[in-house]
Amino acid sequence: MIRALVPGLLLWLLVGLVPSAQAQTPGQDPAGQALLEALDTRSYADKGEAIAALVASGDERTRRWLEALLAGKLQRQEDTGRFIVVLENRGRHWPVVDALSFEAAGEMSRRELDRIGINNALRGQLQSTLAVLDLRVDDVGARREAARELLGNIEAAMLPPLQALVADEADGEVKRLLAQAIAIHRLEQGDAAAVEGLAGSLNPEARAALSAAARSDDAALAEAASGALADIEQKLKLNRGVETLYFGLSLGSVLVLAAIGLAITFGVMGVINMAHGELMMLGAYTTWGMQQLLPGQPGLALILAIPAGFLVAALAGIAIERSVIQFLKGRPLETLLATFGVSLILQQLVRTLISPLNRTVVSPEWMSGSLMINEGLSLTLNRLFVLGFALLVFAGLMLVMRRTRLGLEVRAVTQNRAMARSMGIRATRVDILTFALGSGVAGLAGVALSQLTNVGPNLGQNYIIDSFMVVVFGGVGNLWGTLVAGLSLGVINQVLEPWAGAVLAKILVLVFIILFIQKRPRGLFPQKGRAAEG
């Protein structure tokens, strides 16, 4: 009878040992198993200590474990005690991998698994800990980003490794950010000496920590923090002033682009072209059209749109000059009414052929984002490129006007049309080429505007009045006057808007120009010759 029971007893023992053997499979890596075992506890405080122990272990799998824990994907099989990482927690059966070897372990039902839970405090600790791990990578940019993530997010247990990293860090920016992160932590603990480490910092986290310290019951700490905040506020005012100047110059550069072509045609031909804004619109729609021809290549489309926008607007300008303006020379009011009618025709033509709805032009990657000067000042790249583009267009026009035969003839006709005719200059040809040049520059303005705003049929109407103000303020037909006037009005408008509002700011600018023209009727840089006599 005993012999009969022996096989059954052995079978029972083997069956009972199977789970044990599965549980011991990780026994080939007892160190990793012990680290994960420490995480499987109900005490969140003990879990926090286990996370710190993971980081201190230097195990190369630490990041993957912590990421899985943060995402709620580090779990334990209930019957075997085996740690696994869930790849996708959708459906009834989840694909998993072994947490120690990261080898595929098939699929498991959610009922077989026990998730290792975390609370908000542990979630913050995990995010900070992952940032600390990122500080050990070779990529300087990644280390800087990780150091910024630690500002205001340091736990006491992280101080020793962070201090060691500061001592070993070669990059000055990473070292500065880490020193500030440590100083913020110490300030939050009431250490008045940490205020010195945050003096002059424009980082929002540092200012928040100093603001909290300034309300402390500790008189010495509150006084030191208040003094540091006062110094930072002065630096912030200076940075805000620089930012206002930058936005004003970028707005002014748009006005320069919009007005510089108008200044040429107005100065040479005496034509008040109310369709100038629609020529800008054509340049903007040309940019949109190039992007439709080259989908997925916004950079190449923008580069090709520059000559294309100039050509389209120039041809439209020649058509307007030949069909309307040549018959109304010397009658400025009739020219104004006629070109206003042309502007309405062009707007309706675009609405009919394309759409009355606005179109979005995608900016290339190299024009997206901002250039960070410091933590309190960043310059948007699209506006920076538009400012540079406006200066390049201005420089190109100056070269044309000063170094080419066309420029010489334009200046001659501008100063004295009758004398220029008597010297053999064909004034009609000069008028055509001048109007084409001014219209082409308007097209370039539209290309630039497409990177700042949506493209629509009414695009040009927003800038035509401002363009005339720039031309009159700077001096009719004077390119330098247009540049100075455009940039000046852009800055003035940007300074007035914050406290006066957009509408009142424009009214104040208009009143300023009216008063200025009363004093200097010919503008900042009065034109010589025929323009001065008119």
Share in percent of the chain as helix, strand, coil (round to 5): 70, 5, 20
Q: What is the pLDDT of residues 300-313, one digit of tens each?
A: 999 999 999 999 99
pLDDT of residue 444: 93
Whether the pLDDT of residue 345 is over 90: the answer is: yes
Distance from chain centroid for Cα 392: 23
Which residues pair with residue 380 across a beta bridge?
A: 370
Residues 6+ apart with CB under 8 A from 504: 496
Q: Number of C-alpha atoms within 13 angstroms, CB side, residue 239?
A: 18
Q: What is the pLDDT of residues 451-478, one digit of tens each?
A: 888 899 988 888 888 888 888 888 776 7
Q: Which of 162-166, 297-301, 449-453 is predicted least confidently?
A: 162-166
Pairwise pLDDT comparison (77 vs 1), residue with the higher score: 77
pLDDT of residue 341: 92
Query: In which band, very low, low, confident or very high, does the pLDDT at 3 lie, cut at 50, 70 and 90?
Result: very low
* Mean local confidence (pLDDT), 77-91: 83
Whether the pLDDT of residue 24 is over 50: the answer is: no
pLDDT of residue 19: 38
Asked if 162 contacts 178 with a C-beta cutoff of 8 angstroms, the reply is yes
Q: What is the pLDDT of residues 389-427, one digit of tens each?
A: 999 999 998 898 888 888 888 777 777 777 878 888 887
Question: CATH number of the domain at 242-366+378-533, out of 1.25.40, 2.40.50, 1.10.3470, 2.60.40?
Answer: 1.10.3470
Residues 6+ apart with CB under 8 A from 45: none
**Beta pairing, strands 93-98 & 83-86:** antiparallel
371: DSSP letter: E
Whether the pLDDT of residue 11 is over 70: the answer is: no
Q: What is the C-alpha to C-alpha distance for residues 143 and 155, in angstroms, rounded to an integer?
A: 19
Whether the pLDDT of residue 28 is over 80: the answer is: no
Q: What is the pLDDT of residues 348-390, one digit of tens each?
A: 999 999 888 888 888 888 888 888 887 788 888 888 999 999 9
Number of other CB atoms surrounding residue 513 within 10 Å: 19
Whether the pLDDT of residue 85 is over 70: the answer is: yes
360: DSSP letter: P
Whether the pLDDT of residue 533 is over 60: the answer is: no
Q: What is the C-alpha to C-alpha distance for residues 44 and 120, in angstroms, rounded to an integer?
A: 10
Asked if 442 contacts 353 with a C-beta cutoff of 8 angstroms, the reply is no
Q: What is the C-alpha to C-alpha distance for residues 345 and 351, in angstroms, rounded to an integer?
A: 10
Q: Token pair of 368, please?
A: 């997206």
3-state secondary structure (DSSP) of residue 72: coil
All CATH 1.10.3470 domain ranges of the chain, comma separated, are 242-366+378-533
Q: Token pair of 247, please?
A: 């936005």
pLDDT of residue 17: 37
Query: In which band, very low, low, confident or very high, does the pLDDT at 16 lie, cut at 50, 70 and 90?
Result: very low
SS3 track for 135-164:
CCCCCHHHHHHHHHHCCCCCCHHHHHHHHH
Taking CA 320 as the corner, what is the angle to CA 318 and CA 326, rounded to the nearest 5 degrees? Answer: 90
Share of the chain above pLDDT 90, in %: 14
Q: What is the C-alpha to C-alpha distance for residues 87 and 102, in angstroms, rounded to an integer?
A: 11
pLDDT of residue 531: 44
pLDDT of residue 281: 93
3-state secondary structure (DSSP) of residue 98: strand
Number of other CB atoms surrounding residue 367 within 10 Å: 18
pLDDT of residue 6: 39
pLDDT of residue 348: 92
SS3 track for 315-374:
HHHHHHHHHCHHHHCCCHHHHHHHHHHHHHHHHHHHHHHCCCCCECCCCCHHHCCEEEEE
pLDDT of residue 157: 66
* Mean local confidence (pLDDT), 89-110: 84
Kindly state the helix (H) or strand (E) to which residue 49 belongs, with its residue range. Answer: helix 44-57
Residue whose structure tokens are 């160190």: 31
With CA atoms as reference, report the closest residue to 225 among 209, 214, 212.
214
Q: What is the C-alpha to C-alpha distance for residues 279 and 440, in angstroms, rounded to an integer?
A: 8
Number of other CB atoms surrounding residue 246 within 10 Å: 20
Asked if 286 contacts 312 with a C-beta cutoff of 8 angstroms, the reply is yes
Query: In which band, very low, low, confident or very high, does the pLDDT at 150 lie, cut at 50, 70 and 90?
Result: confident
Whether the pLDDT of residue 336 is over 70: the answer is: yes
Whether the pLDDT of residue 443 is over 90: the answer is: yes
Whether the pLDDT of residue 22 is over 70: the answer is: no
pLDDT of residue 502: 74
Residues 6+ apart with CB under 8 A from 488: 252, 473
Whether the pLDDT of residue 534 is over 50: the answer is: no
Pairwise pLDDT comparison (285 vs 206), residue with the higher score: 285
Q: What is the C-alpha to C-alpha distance for residues 39 and 46, in angstroms, rounded to an integer?
A: 8
- In this structure, the chain runs to a length of 534
| Alpha-carbon distances of 377 from 203, 312, 373, 380, rounded to whole Å | 11, 38, 6, 10
Query: In which band, very low, low, confident or very high, does the pLDDT at 1 lie, cut at 50, 70 and 90?
Result: very low
Q: What is the pLDDT of residues 256-283, one digit of tens each?
A: 988 888 888 876 777 788 898 899 999 9
Number of other CB atoms surrounding residue 463 within 10 Å: 24
Asked if 386 contacts 251 with a C-beta cutoff of 8 angstroms, the reply is no
Pairwise pLDDT comparison (505 vs 486), residue with the higher score: 486
Average pLDDT over the chain reads: 82
Q: Which of 39-53, 121-135, 503-517 is predicted least confidently?
A: 121-135
Q: Which of 335-349, 435-449, 497-511 is predicted least confidently?
A: 497-511
For the chain, counts of helices (H) and of strands (E): 22, 7
Share of the chain above pLDDT 70, in %: 92
With CA atoms as reference, report the closest residue to 315 among 307, 417, 461.
307
Q: What is the pLDDT of residues 235-257, one digit of tens each?
A: 888 988 898 899 989 888 988 98
pLDDT of residue 527: 61
**Beta pairing, strands 93-98 & 104-109:** antiparallel
Asked if 202 contacts 235 with a C-beta cutoff of 8 angstroms, the reply is yes
Query: In which band, very low, low, confident or very high, does the pLDDT at 12 lie, cut at 50, 70 and 90?
Result: very low
With CA atoms as reference, report the closest residue to 44 among 124, 156, 158, 152.
124
